[in-house]
Structure 1
Amino acid sequence: MNSDHQDPGTAPDATAEPATETPTGRKGRFRRRPGWQKALIVLSVLLVVAVSGVVGGGYLLVSRYSGKVDRAALLPSVPAGEAEQSKENWDSGALNLLMLGSDSRATEPGGTSPIGERSDTIMLVHIAKSRDKATIVSIPRDSYVDVPAGGSWKGGKNKINAAFAFGGAALTAATVRKLTGVPLDGAMIANFASIVDLVDAVDGVNVCVPYDVKSTFSAREWKQGCHDMDGDVAEEFMRQRYNVPGGDFGRIRNQQLVVKAVIAKVAKNNMLFKPLALDSLLGIAADSLTVDENLDLRDLTLAVRDIRPANITFATVPYASSNLKTPAGSAVDLDYDASTAMFAAIKNDTIDQWLLANPDSTASN
């Protein structure tokens, strides 16, 4: 576990993982299912929905399941002018959605969470005004930022994932809004299912790894190259943080590799044109999602129906150091100038041009 000193005013770090954790129950299934795996369900199914909008049956299936997902107040209240602008964005503007994943100890994703629970995955999904491309930006969970007052937190500097511990999704959204300056048009959080279910639903994936990864949970090792993975193996691969280049940043990269493999498998097998297969994928989503009370999934389907997998870009917020010493323990020090420019590009709907001009921002299609 994380041995960093914790200030009395901060929650204990529930995101660290012991290298000795072992599988239990179903072969390869781990005792504690991290929130970032659950967020991958949200992300993957969002992308599935994105490319299924062109299928007549896809829209009908979204309508069928939209009433089955859990709903909660995931976003804080905003000024009337910003709320009106968001309505206009859904009609004809660029959209920015917050995507979160956490462990399942909270009784209410939109409310105050027990101390110790943190959001292991924080993603900002930007859908271009042209509605034919999207950028998914990962915000490192240990980023040291200003967390506004909320819940049991009086406000001040802390790791960004602590916001969920003190004030749930709404405080996390307020923190992301403060950090990025980007108004949020919707929010989602994953709560039950794992990436295991989605990978198994597509009958496994082929993941191409650009580096060697050695498991800390078993004797498995993934050499540079492409590997077939079922749900259990994909879960184990994505949990690696010690024997992967970049630590947590490498783990983010591994998550993205699996998500892209899922999308490729869905496209290759034309699953979106097969009602039973699409029904299964959306069923997983319905069991996994909590969405903001004001988010209409049918509107989201219409907004992203022209996006193709090749036009989805992943990126990570630039950082200056991953070992910043703080009262909350070792944290990530974001690169102020580069991250500010990235956030401005998201807000101005020019993020694709910014990424082209800044290839070191760990972007990939």
Structure 2
Amino acid sequence: MLVAVVAVVGMKALTSRYERTITREQLLAPDARQPRTDLSEGLNYLLVGTDRRGASDGPDQRSDTILIVHLPPGMRQGYLISVPRDLLVAIPPGGTNGYRGGQDKINAAYEHGGAGQGGAQLLSATLTRLTGIRFDGAALVDFAGFKQVINLLGGIRMCVDTEVRSIHTGTVFATGCQQMDGARALDYVRQRYDLPRGDYDRQRHQQQMLQAVLNRAGETNLRGDPLKLDRVLRAVGGSLTLDTNGVRIEDLMVALGSLPSDALSGVQVPSYPETIDGISYVVLDNGGNGLFDAVRGERVPGWATANPRWVTRL
């Protein structure tokens, strides 16, 4: 997100300064890492948002959001592929907790791995085993800390399509497009109960929030307000732990600079809910209906055209 915001405002010289605000860790397991020497091909990034609340920073966290960010060669399109948090998967042994492996919801992989670096590595290994996709990098995002970023941008515009009451605060989100501050936006995109498609609607709202942040960064005259730009980029950097797989942030920014702000699409993994032994899971529909093959083979635009049910233009 830091790279994308810098790319939006077009300020190359800032990258070296703000790289220092980001925590660097090895977030990808060795088998989940794609060897990368340049950015001439497409990119697959793993984006993990944690459900950390308040001062809690222990290992009993689950990954609240799991996104595969896919950029086909040419960097003129982007796809935010949301992995259902309740997806039933085989989690391999690993992590810092000595986890021995087993069947569970995919968002439990982060917790079984001990959260943080160990959790991200076990989650990436689980995804690679499931999809065959190796990643060019990964980012761990503290969405709770991301509230400040949204506030510094002056809020974001979100369009509520179904009225829903927050299970966290009791706030009612009425239908219609509206300006939201950081706390309200993050509360809204965490809701899944009482929505027509449950967690699938929640995934779409999270994708829309990321697009709204990028849109707002583009609308705001950050270049004309250096102090505000400094606060925004420091806040973004402070909420990120990054694994660039050896690629310089400046090179990533240059590559992303050609991505139009309206070129993102949201993708949901073809799947369906199922109750197994009294527990609610999500199960892949026909192995993902060819989505993962399309990502590996750089054929996602064609897959999206053939599968409009699972794709949303953001």
For the aligned pair, the TM-score class normalised by the smaller chain equals 0.7 to 0.9
Is 1:131 the counterpart of 2:75 in the alignment?
yes
Distance 2:204 2:143 in 1: 23
Question: Match for residue 47 of structure 2?
Answer: 99
Q: How does 1:326-337 map to 2 (within 5 A)?
A: 326=277, 329-337=279-287
The answer to whether structure 1 residue 69 and structure 2 residue 25 are counterparts is no
Instruction: Deviation per CA, 1:231-262: give whole Å up to 9, x if none.
Output: 22223222322232222222222222322222
For residues 306-363 of structure 1, the C-alpha deviation after alignment (integer angstroms, 9 at most, x for no partner) is 11111111111111x2233158x321112134x1511111112221221121110042
Residues 191, 217 of structure 1: CA spacing in aligned structure 2 closer, same or farther, 3 A cutoff?
A: closer
Shift of 1:194: 2.6
Stretch of structure 1 that moved more, 198-207 or 216-225? 216-225
- Residue from 204, 213, 220 that aligns with 2:171: 220
Q: Which runs of 5+ in 2 are unaligned?
A: 114-118
Q: Do the aligned partners of 2:161 and 2:176 also contact (CA within 8 Å) in 1? A: yes
Residue in 1 aligned with 2:184? 233
Distance 1:128 1:50, change over 3 A: farther
AA at the equivalent of 2:176: G
Give the aligned length: 304
Partner of 2:127: 176
CA–CA distance in structure 2, aligned partners of residues 213 and 362 of structure 1: 23
- The aligned amino acid for 1:47 is A
User: What secondary structure sits across from 1:65 in the alignment?
Assistant: helix
- Distance, in Å, in 1 between the alignment partners of 2:39 and 2:211 is 28
- 1:226: how far off? 0.8
Which residue among 303, 309, 314 is the counterpart of 1:360?
A: 309
Matched, 1:286 2:233: no
- Displacement of 1:192: 7.4
Q: Is the 8 A contact 2:76 2:263 kept in 1?
A: yes
1:131 partner amino acid? M
**Matched residues in 1 for 2:127 and 2:249: separation?**
22
Percent same amino acid among aligned pairs?
35
- Which residue does the alignment assign to 1:147? 91
Match in the other structure for 1:188: 139
Does the aligned pair in 2 maintain the 1:266–1:272 contact within 8 Å? no
Q: String of CA shifts for 1:47-79, please: whole Å, max 9, x gaps.
A: 323434xx2xx2221221112211111111249
Q: Describe the superposition over 1:98-146 as per-residue Cα deviations: whole angstroms up to 9, x where unpaired.
A: 11122449x9x9xxx73x3221111101122102221111101110012
Is 1:157–2:110 an aligned residue pair? no
Q: What's the Cα RMSD here?
A: 2.6
What SS does structure 1 have at the residue aligned with 2:313? coil
Q: Corresponding residue for 2:267?
A: 315
